[in-house]
Structure 1
């Protein structure tokens, strides 16, 4: 006899659910084991456990990484000190920026209202290494710090200049403005654009380059008497060419005096000074002889000395030359050219020839009282126009011979 069949006990829903989960996990585990056996049995952390991510996916929202653009570039060399130092970011904001030199000097700067841009407030120094550290924050509030470095133009590529007249000087109506650079200038247009010259009388002038280092500026006519001239030179950081960078900004204000123009007549042996176009004094003189005729044209008075010392050797004369005069002390000297033409009191041996014969080595010689009067009444920037001489024009840069250059040639 077969045993009596026992009735089956119904499975509970809980047991059914457990079995289903176990089967599902077994199936998933089998897939992982088939794809990546090394992960089988590993405990995996869900990406959903992280609030943010920087790569696309379904488990969490994406936060784009901060992009930054810093200038100068990291490791840059020979950076122009006038070049802007800046930082621009996207997908985030700038928290703070520090720009310091290796000597510990800090360059101040400011962050814009949006927090996405920073700019240095002032220029850098030449021949200096800088450390540039900035901290940025992304959309999730995470901060990142970056440090870069760069160095500026070395001293070997730093250019300076000498300017004349000096700030605050008072000069005559014939004085050109002069800048002599320490290094050759190839980018002349850039230099001229960086210099603004204004006249209280409204005169407009032109630059004229006498060499690759020296430039001068004058108006078409003499400066207006008792006007003022202002030179505003914003040359810091200007590239002169060949990597030479100007290292200065400078403002110069110059006062112009009365119009004083003298005419020295080698044929009449006279020197006539006019002040503001009115003749005030005519004096007898002796000028350059046939061997050393005085240079013709306009000359502008330069430095003057109450006492000076002249040497014949300075103009190439030797003791065996009949014109040799050795070393002599001279009074009331005013320089006309760099090469040695002066207004001065004549040597005593020339007194009999004053007013009737030219016996000098190119200078304009006066009797003692005449020399003293001219010395007291004329000065730097005043003009002497030499006429009726057999001499040629002095070189334009042998002193200030700018007025002997036609305006059409000067302004080019």
Structure 2
């Protein structure tokens, strides 16, 4: 009986010892930060059911960075819209606005180095929508749409832009690029930085500001025949100074035609038309009489018209003035100055053509010769006049070639 009692006591003590050891092990594991039953993979296993509970890694949300901010108002039109994403990669961006006519207009842009940049500045008084798409660090796609509204401008705060020659045209070797504005440009340098001329083949040239409302670009010498010219006046939203901004951007692509130069000598009363370096025709002409002297210098064909009426009032004459003449119909005419000089048909002075100067400043010739000139010369062709002591002046037509290349370049705002 004693042996039985002792055996029972020993067995009980052994069981208590095992439980104590197990308890110590559980406590050690807990203190060490590894739950009971943790294997090499670090997954937690419950002692009761043997099930595994995985912890999902946390992914930071994308943070959008845009200029301007979302829901911004009165945004300046010279703002350049940009977008990027922190804690993610920007994949797509699209910008659009609803015009005042209700049309949706998309704005092009470029995505480079994780940043999207709009290709144009902003329109006044409209609502823009910027749609963005990015991928988080785990590859999940996330999207965001942001909006903003631009500052409203009056027409007096917007400078209208016009570019010539027209897109797709062909002009002569003397034709300058012309950009005109309806309101004065105070910050000419800022505008000029955004007015670009590209030529193929390349010809170096420069801008020259005739006034705060007109700028011309020409190469150092006459254009090379066949040159392709691209004008890109990116002036929409560009500050013009004086509380004004460019109203729009303009582009034009045109081609330079063959070389045509009319060489007018008012001492010999002859005009030689030189095409591609060779004299194509010699024409007897008459120039301006005393008091109406034709200007000497380099002129450029500005316009071509048929069947017009020439009036004395257009050159400042009224009835009773010396030299006044009645309205005179003219069949063929090519304008070369703003002040009223033309190359034109003058059948009334054929007997004087090639002999003396009897006109009111124009270069006159017979109907047949004027028709030939009209059909063989285009806008931009050159007229070089010599033989008088009255010079051409800047601004009187396309008088650009009367300045040396150095003086021309000095007229740039940059």
Cα deviation, 1:64-84, whole Å, max 9, x if unaligned, reads: 999876533565425216521
Give the direction of change, closer, same or farther, for the CA distance of 1:329–1:75 in structure 2 (3 Å limit): same
Which residue of 1 is the match for residue 325 of structure 2?
325
- What is the rounded CA distance, in whole Å, between the counterparts of 1:113 and 1:300 in structure 2? 45
Give the direction of change, closer, same or farther, for the CA distance of 1:297–1:125 in structure 2 (3 Å limit): same
Give the direction of change, closer, same or farther, for the CA distance of 1:370–1:77 in structure 2 (3 Å limit): same
Instruction: Using structure 1 for the length normalisation, give the TM-score.
Output: 0.71
- What is the rounded CA distance, in whole Å, between the counterparts of 1:343 and 1:237 in structure 2? 42
Q: Is the 8 A contact 2:298 2:402 kept in 1?
A: yes
Q: What secondary structure is seen at the aligned counterpart in 1 of 2:271?
A: strand
Which residue of 2 is the match for residue 26 of structure 1?
none
Aligned residues: 344
Q: What secondary structure is seen at the aligned counterpart in 2 of 1:240?
A: strand
Compute the displacement of 1:314 (Å). Answer: 1.2
Deviates more, 1:158-167 or 1:182-191: 182-191
- Give yes or no for the alignment of 1:259 onto 2:259: yes
Which residue of 1 is the match for residue 353 of structure 2?
354
Gaps of 5+ in 1: 1-63, 135-144
Cα deviation, 1:36-83, whole Å, max 9, x if unaligned, reads: xxxxxxxxxxxxxxxxxxxxxxxxxxxx99987653356542521652
Cα deviation, 1:114-149, whole Å, max 9, x if unaligned, reads: 9x9887797643222458899xxxxxxxxxx99875
Q: Is the 8 A contact 1:296 1:390 kept in 2?
A: yes
Which residue of 2 is the match for residue 84 of structure 1?
81
- What is the rounded CA distance, in whole Å, between the counterparts of 1:67 and 1:117 in structure 2? 13
Cα deviation, 1:175-234, whole Å, max 9, x if unaligned, reads: 111000223223323323323322223211111000011110111110012222222333
For 1:34-73, what aligned pairs fall within 5 Å after superposition?
71-72=67-68
Deviates more, 1:192-201 or 1:214-223: 192-201
Which residue of 2 is the match for residue 300 of structure 1?
300
- What is the rounded CA distance, in whole Å, between the counterparts of 2:199 and 2:107 in structure 1? 36
Cα deviation, 1:333-380, whole Å, max 9, x if unaligned, reads: 0001111100101142x2221111111010000012211111111121
Q: What secondary structure is seen at the aligned counterpart in 2 of 1:314?
A: helix
Compute the displacement of 1:275 (Å). Answer: 1.0
Q: Please, what is the CA RMSD of the aligned residues? A: 4.0
- What is the rounded CA distance, in whole Å, between the counterparts of 1:76 and 1:108 in structure 2? 19
Give the direction of change, closer, same or farther, for the CA distance of 1:124–1:309 in structure 2 (3 Å limit): same
Which residue of 2 is the match for residue 22 of structure 1?
none
Which residue of 2 is the match for residue 217 of structure 1?
217
Deviates more, 1:213-222 or 1:78-87: 78-87
Give the direction of change, closer, same or farther, for the CA distance of 1:130–1:341 in structure 2 (3 Å limit): same
Q: What secondary structure is seen at the aligned counterpart in 2 of 1:352?
A: coil
Q: Is the 8 A contact 2:124 2:152 kept in 1?
A: yes
Cα deviation, 1:291-338, whole Å, max 9, x if unaligned, reads: 100011000011111211111111111111231112111111000111
Q: Is the 8 A contact 2:80 2:118 kept in 1?
A: no
Cα deviation, 1:249-300, whole Å, max 9, x if unaligned, reads: 3332211111111111111011111111211211111100111000110000
- What is the rounded CA distance, in whole Å, between the counterparts of 2:333 and 2:236 in structure 1? 38
Q: Is the 8 A contact 2:121 2:237 kept in 1?
A: no
- What is the rounded CA distance, in whole Å, between the counterparts of 2:384 and 2:103 in structure 1? 58
Which residue of 1 is the match for residue 44 of structure 2?
none
Q: What secondary structure is seen at the aligned counterpart in 1 of 2:308?
A: strand
Q: Is the 8 A contact 1:81 1:126 kept in 2?
A: no
Deviates more, 1:117-126 or 1:227-236: 117-126
For 1:9-158, what aligned pairs fall within 5 Å after superposition?
71-72=67-68, 76-80=73-77, 82-84=79-81, 86=83, 124-129=122-127, 149-156=148-155, 157-158=157-158
- What is the rounded CA distance, in whole Å, between the counterparts of 1:113 and 1:268 in structure 2? 65
- Give yes or no for the alignment of 1:291 onto 2:287: no
Give the direction of change, closer, same or farther, for the CA distance of 1:200–1:75 in structure 2 (3 Å limit): closer
Q: Is the 8 A contact 2:179 2:215 kept in 1?
A: yes
Q: Is the 8 A contact 2:262 2:271 kept in 1?
A: yes
Q: Is the 8 A contact 2:297 2:402 kept in 1?
A: yes
Q: What secondary structure is seen at the aligned counterpart in 2 of 1:263?
A: strand
Which residue of 1 is the match for residue 233 of structure 2?
233
- What is the rounded CA distance, in whole Å, between the counterparts of 2:74 and 2:246 in structure 1? 17
Compute the displacement of 1:97 (Å). Answer: 11
- Give yes or no for the alignment of 1:404 onto 2:397: no
Q: Is the 8 A contact 2:68 2:75 kept in 1?
A: no
